[in-house]
Amino acid sequence: MEMEYCKLGEEWFDEYWINHGSATMVKDGKAVKITNLKDFLEFKGKANLLKKIVSRTSKKKTK
């Protein structure tokens, strides 16, 4: 499972989750719901903060 977490702070976290799935943006000429942090930052005009997002994958234990 892939997860995203960030170092943006609590205010960004709260605003993202309050608007998750309800805010929309135009992408490729279509209105789409914002359901990921990358799109949310682009929508807010803060693409410069994308470097603070860290993607990671969960590690499965091997025997």
pLDDT in tens, 5-42: 567 888 888 888 888 888 899 989 999 998 888 888 88
How many structural domains are present in the chain? Answer: 1
41, 49 Cβ separation under 8 angstroms: yes
Band (55; pLDDT cuts 50, 70, 90): low
Instruction: Tell me how far CA of residue 52 lies from CA of 8, 22, 40, 43, 49, in angstroms.
Output: 6, 23, 13, 16, 6
For residue 2, the model assigns a pLDDT of 42
Question: Residue 29: inside a domain, yes or no?
Answer: yes
Question: Residue 62: inside a domain, yes or no?
Answer: no
Helices (H), 1-63: 10-19, 37-43
Question: Residue 63: inside a domain, yes or no?
Answer: no
Question: Residue 41: inside a domain, yes or no?
Answer: yes
Structural domain containing residue 16: 2-57
